[in-house]
Amino acid sequence: MSNNILVKSLYREQKDFANKEIKISGWIRTLRASNAFGFIELNDGSFFKNVQIVLDANKLENFKDISKLPISSSISVIGTLVETPDAKQPFEIQANQIIVEGMSSSDYPLQKKRHTFEYLRTIAHLRPRSNAFSAVFRVRSVAAYAIHKFFQERGFVYTHTPILTGSDAEGAGEMFRVTTLDLNNIPKTEEGKIDYSEDFFGKETNLTVSGQLNGESFALAFRNIYTFGPTFRAENSNTARHAAEFWMIEPEISFADLKDDMELAEDMLKFVINYVMEECPEELEFFNQFIDKGLLERLNHVVTSDFGKVTYTDAVELLQKSDKKFEYPVEWGIDLQTEHERYLTEEIFKRPVFVTDYPKDIKAFYMRLNEDGKTVAAMDCLVPGIGEIIGGSQREERLDVLKKKMAELNLNEEDYWWYLELRKYGETPHSGFGLGFERLIMYITGMTNIRDVIPFPRTTGQSDF
Amino acid sequence: MSNNILVKSLYREQKDFANKEIKISGWIRTLRASNAFGFIELNDGSFFKNVQIVLDANKLENFKDISKLPISSSISVIGTLVETPDAKQPFEIQANQIIVEGMSSSDYPLQKKRHTFEYLRTIAHLRPRSNAFSAVFRVRSVAAYAIHKFFQERGFVYTHTPILTGSDAEGAGEMFRVTTLDLNNIPKTEEGKIDYSEDFFGKETNLTVSGQLNGESFALAFRNIYTFGPTFRAENSNTARHAAEFWMIEPEISFADLKDDMELAEDMLKFVINYVMEECPEELEFFNQFIDKGLLERLNHVVTSDFGKVTYTDAVELLQKSDKKFEYPVEWGIDLQTEHERYLTEEIFKRPVFVTDYPKDIKAFYMRLNEDGKTVAAMDCLVPGIGEIIGGSQREERLDVLKKKMAELNLNEEDYWWYLELRKYGETPHSGFGLGFERLIMYITGMTNIRDVIPFPRTTGQSDF
């Protein structure tokens, strides 16, 4: 089967294959046939577009059988590539021989009619064969590679931070417990408490909500690192933007302040979007036409804009001065809601914008306290159409300030002994941010439900497949 | 801080910086000083090697303070790069100004004397600052990128298969239970069983042991896909080769038989090893000198060999005919042990070798049954020094054969409804394999304990950091 050509090659190097006999394999997307002729739209998964296969009853022994194949049957085709400059498609394959690899069943659920995304979620094992999901998951793959490419070309060290963790990191959210205890017969100590010494790790263990603290330890060795792995939230929120399992990218940079952090975030976003626009033009065209009419304009705008910058304090003032009636009123000290974020980026700045220097009380303990004693060196990156896509900060590198903050929040120093030691043995100004990968994919594709950008989504009550 | 140069650039583009004033930042690895002069070996994490900084009391105002800095203090240096063709190091930086970023403490645990790997595991947050672990984790990062590069350049779609799973996949091993139930107060049904309807996903949920079945579903849409993510085993085995959390690469290819599968595995291994040899020559040189004297010779041998091929049946015969006394006697039907695998690849073939067509009873249910009815189209790739590094197979695409096999093993068809449907709607011959990423890193670095190639390893009783 090795002389088999990928359809992507036919499209990208069409001239090389013109008038030559080739072999391709794939799945039938559509088929129509008369007694004498037939046409198959074949997709082999290597490329968004189909290839038109022309069937001629005079040339194909098994013409009759082929012309009755159900949708999604898999076939191999040996035929001649003929350029068709006047037709809708740039070329077609005139079949000389067709081999049936696997006949599909006539009850194949993805018939030509349009299905709702809700329905397609119930057949997650088949939906990547549809146009929309073929486009989504190829973009997801290409964007993931762009993330790696961006960081690796800059010498960042990819760090696999642990998924199983004995600590609750930053209290970023509800956690999943991981255990090998027999739930029918939980071992107890003499005091009647759960005896975690009998559990696999000998103590309470959860799924990670963030790799940041571990990431910092590697940044203080390798200078520049990034993570890219799954993270988990056990939050019972049944929204279009939340999943229990999602992938995060968390770079961490040493000898770097908040300004360096924002530069990195802006460069990364532009790089990834540019890369996807270059590698997946067919997919983005599809999204722009069928999913989100303003998509390409918005993406082009992002990659050519200089991102804005505004302090939280100024942003609050701008929002208060606007005529817009918000559902949640704006005052200094509140956490900005999506409506505020979108208004800032879409109406006031009309481009992506970093909001910086948030009140310390609404941000995490590890963010660096500013001179004013009231705000921290944090930043959120807001983009039109979605609001917050990145959150980051300069980290508190001063041991005494960090300890004081932890005491205020009743965090136990012993639980963070190694994190504190990073400040003791050669601290430096350092910064980092987190990018939710699914949110990025929603942004690049225009898809509006997180369940539709994850191959097999896990949400409240949903872990099928 | 943005005009800061990475040490890697100084080494790679030394000529461009010669006799120029530059600024670098990093951590002090060693420092020795008299009253008039001093020398710092500075490492900034961007490169394996240190830079020599020359301190001159006449030029540096704070010479005295600098010369007393503890190891691992972080500093920024403004100075002139002077080439030193006659010295051990190719250049040095003559410091004009030194800024202390963060002073370390004199009890810094990584002093110059050599530490055992066992001890360094107890300071996993600091060990990447040592030579050995700086080399290991950079190689890990570069190898991970090589994996992505290999598959992406061939058009494979990177697929994030789920970590949380409601099914036990292939029964590949003991699983971790994931739950949000209150373990102090487990809800029970009227029959006294655990009421999983109250759990987060409404049913029993575990951590994945393999993404393969999900991967197959995407391969039957995209033709060629790969996974690269964490997998889990709750096995109580305290060995140097097993971890509870590790990363796996699982490509899956459609319209492809076992021969195609082996070709892919061989190409991938060679690509990754070549890429690491090109990108990390300093690190591999270090491993070759201090960790495993035969390493470079072995790696060079692998990338230039054509891998051997032998059936399991022939391999058993070869082992039986050999003079070697094995701890486990060899007979047809046994699972090959590491001692057998290593003998085959090291003594008989003297190069990497694929063993194919194993007895069906020792392999997984989804492997394709051969014509003989006794063996399956499986392959293990064995490499000198380690034994099995890759295991793969052609998948059983024939619905009736697959169902029969599942019935023999008492697997419930309902649990696999979607996996079976892949065979109903356009099956094709398809194949895939699994590569344990940590085992690959051990192979490339010569490190012999899996705990020493994972940033923060999780093993029985161990989930610190």
pLDDT, tens digit, for every residue of A228-250? 999 999 988 889 989 999 999 99
> Minimal Cα distance from A4: which residue of B?
B255
Distance CA A230, CA A407 (A): 30
Hey, what are B270's tokens?
A: 């060679």
Alpha carbon of B35: minimum distance to chain A alpha carbons (Å): 24
Max CA distance (Å), chain B: 86
| B455 vs A180, A218, A454: nearest CB | A218
CB B156 within 8 A of CB B226: yes
Residue A20 has pLDDT above 90, yes or no: yes
Q: Is B147 on the interface with A (CB under 8 A)?
A: no
Q: Is A102 on the interface with B (CB under 8 A)?
A: yes
Alpha carbon of B340: minimum distance to chain A alpha carbons (Å): 32
Least confident segment among A101-105, A383-387, B37-41, B423-427: A383-387
pLDDT, tens digit, for every residue of A52-82? 999 999 999 999 999 999 999 999 999 999 9
Question: Residue B180: its chain A contacts at CB < 8 A?
Answer: 174, 176-177, 234
| A176 vs B180, B230, B244: nearest CB | B180
Give the mean pLDDT of chain A.
Answer: 95
pLDDT, tens digit, for every residue of B167-194? 755 565 789 999 999 999 999 999 999 9
CA B107, B112, B115, B120: dihedral to nearest 10 degrees?
Answer: 60
Alpha carbon of A160: minimum distance to chain B alpha carbons (Å): 7
CB contact under 8 A, A232 and B164: yes
The confidence score (pLDDT) of residue A128 equals 98
DSSP letter, residue B348: I
The confidence score (pLDDT) of residue B416 equals 93
pLDDT band at A283 (very low <50, low <70, confident <90, very high): very high
CB atoms within 10 A of CB A224: 24
| A255 vs B25, B73, B158: nearest CB | B25
> Minimal Cα distance from A141: which residue of B?
B158
| B426 vs A46, A74, A214: nearest CB | A74
Distance CA B29, CA A59 (A): 75
Termini Cα distance of chain A: 30
Give the pLDDT mean for B438-464. 96
Q: Regarding predicted confidence, which is higher, B167 or A118?
A: A118
CB A393 within 8 A of CB A367: yes
DSSP letter, residue B188: B
Distance CA A248, CA A209 (A): 10
Distance CA A308, CA B419 (A): 49
Distance CA B462, CA A166 (A): 9
The confidence score (pLDDT) of residue A17 equals 96
Bridge partners, residue B30, by sequence: B41
pLDDT, tens digit, for every residue of B100-137? 999 999 999 998 778 999 999 999 999 999 999 999 99
pLDDT, tens digit, for every residue of B144-154? 999 999 999 99
Q: Note the ipTM here.
A: 0.97
pLDDT, tens digit, for every residue of B198-251? 999 999 999 999 999 999 999 999 999 999 999 999 988 889 989 999 999 999
Distance CA A126, CA A108 (A): 10
CB A85 within 8 A of CB A65: no
pLDDT, tens digit, for every residue of A344-391? 999 999 999 999 999 999 999 999 999 999 999 999 999 988 899 999
pLDDT band at B1 (very low <50, low <70, confident <90, very high): very low
pLDDT band at A113 (very low <50, low <70, confident <90, very high): confident
pLDDT, tens digit, for every residue of B289-343? 999 999 999 999 999 999 999 999 999 999 999 989 999 999 999 999 999 999 9
| B465 vs A177, A207, A214: nearest CB | A214
CA angle A225, A227, A228 (to 5 degrees): 145
Residue B392 has pLDDT above 50, yes or no: yes
> Minimal Cα distance from B74: which residue of A?
A426
CB contact under 8 A, B205 and A463: yes
Q: Cα–chain-centroid distance for residue A436?
A: 6
The confidence score (pLDDT) of residue B2 equals 45
Give the mean pLDDT of chain B.
Answer: 95
Question: Residue A46: its chain B contacts at CB < 8 A?
Answer: 155, 222-224
| A45 vs B4, B223, B423: nearest CB | B223
Q: Which residues 205-224 on chain B approach chain A with CB closer than 8 angstroms?
A: 205, 207, 214, 217-224
Alpha carbon of B425: minimum distance to chain A alpha carbons (Å): 4
CB contact under 8 A, B162 and A1: no
One-letter-per-residue 3-state SS of chain A: CCCCCCHHHHHHCHHHHCCCEEEEEEEEEEEEECCCEEEEEEECCCCCCCEEEEEECCCCCCHHHHHCCCCCCEEEEEEEEEECCCCCCCEEEEEEEEEEEECCCCCCCCCCCCCCHHHHHCCCCCHHHCHHHHHHHHHHHHHHHHHHHHHHHCCCEECCCCCEECCCCCCCCCCCEEECCCCCCCCECCCCCECHHHCCCCCCCEECCCCHHHHHHHHHHHCEEEEEEEEECCCCCCCCCCCCEEEEEEEEEECCCHHHHHHHHHHHHHHHHHHHHHHCHHHHHHHHHHCCCCHHHHHHHHHHCCCEEEEHHHHHHHHHHCCCCCCCCCCCCCCCCHHHHHHHHHHHCCCCEEEEEEEHHHCCCCECECCCCCEEEEEEEEECCCEEEEEEEEECCCHHHHHHHHHHCCCCHHHHHHHHHHHHCCCCCEEEEEEEHHHHHHHHHCCCCHHHCCCCCCECCECCC
One-letter-per-residue 3-state SS of A27-63: EEEEEEECCCEEEEEEECCCCCCCEEEEEECCCCCCH
| Side-chain half-sphere CA neighbours of B52 within 13 A | 16
Q: Which candidate, A190, A260, A240, A266, places its Cα nearest to that of A439? A: A240
Q: Which candidate, B219, B227, B226, B228, places its Cα nearest to that of B255? A: B219
Hey, what are B86's tokens?
A: 């006659």
Give the pLDDT mean for B66-93. 96
Q: Which residues 386-415 on chain A approach chain B with CB closer than 8 angstroms?
A: 397
pLDDT above 90 covers a percentage of chain A that reads: 93
Look at residue B228 and give its three-state secondary structure. Answer: strand
CB A46 within 8 A of CB B222: yes
Residue A2 has pLDDT above 70, yes or no: no
